Amino acid sequence: MGTLDRMPVHHDRIGRTPDRVKDRPTWLISRAYARSTALLAEGFETHGDGLRGHHYRLLAALEQWGPTSQADLGRATGIDRSDVTGALTELEARGLVDRKVDPAHKRRNVVTLTPAGADALRRLDGVLDDIQTAVLAPLTAAQRRQLLDLLARIAGADRDADVIE
């Protein structure tokens, strides 16, 4: 039996955060991410009819940018190529997207959003709107706008640094 196995467990300390950690941005961002991810998973599980966040991203990209290759779709949405293939197979089986071989490039599939896919996307917009409201519920409207601005700045910091250099 190791030393840790013999140490008493203080149940009143479970779930607490050490003082050295609790105010660090990386910790707070990771906790906010965990909360938002849990709300997102729960929302899609309850109201997504079997669709998930990655399906939503693919449908949204197709709606915004039009028909595109699977590879470009993966790059644009940040979804791994093998995961894109599986997700598109699921979406195609539901009639939400259509895949056809690109006549100009036989090894490339072009993906198109179907009318049913556009309807599903609009329905999922409502699900996502509710999730966003839940994520930001502790904040006032002004705090929500400020948080979104700050997060966008943090998320784009690497890209902005590339532009400055």
Q: What is the mean pLDDT of each run of 10 residues along the chain (165 residues)?
A: 56 77 93 94 92 95 95 92 93 97 87 97 95 95 96 82 46
Write down the pLDDT at residue 159.
Answer: 67
Write down the pLDDT at residue 102.
Answer: 85
Write down the pLDDT at residue 12.
Answer: 59
Say if CB 92 and CB 55 are below 8 A apart: no
User: Any residues with CB less than 8 A from the CB of 84 and at least 6 apart, and which?
Assistant: 58, 70, 73, 74, 77
Q: What is the pTM of this model?
A: 0.78
Write down the pLDDT at residue 164.
Answer: 43
Say if CB 104 and CB 80 are below 8 A apart: no
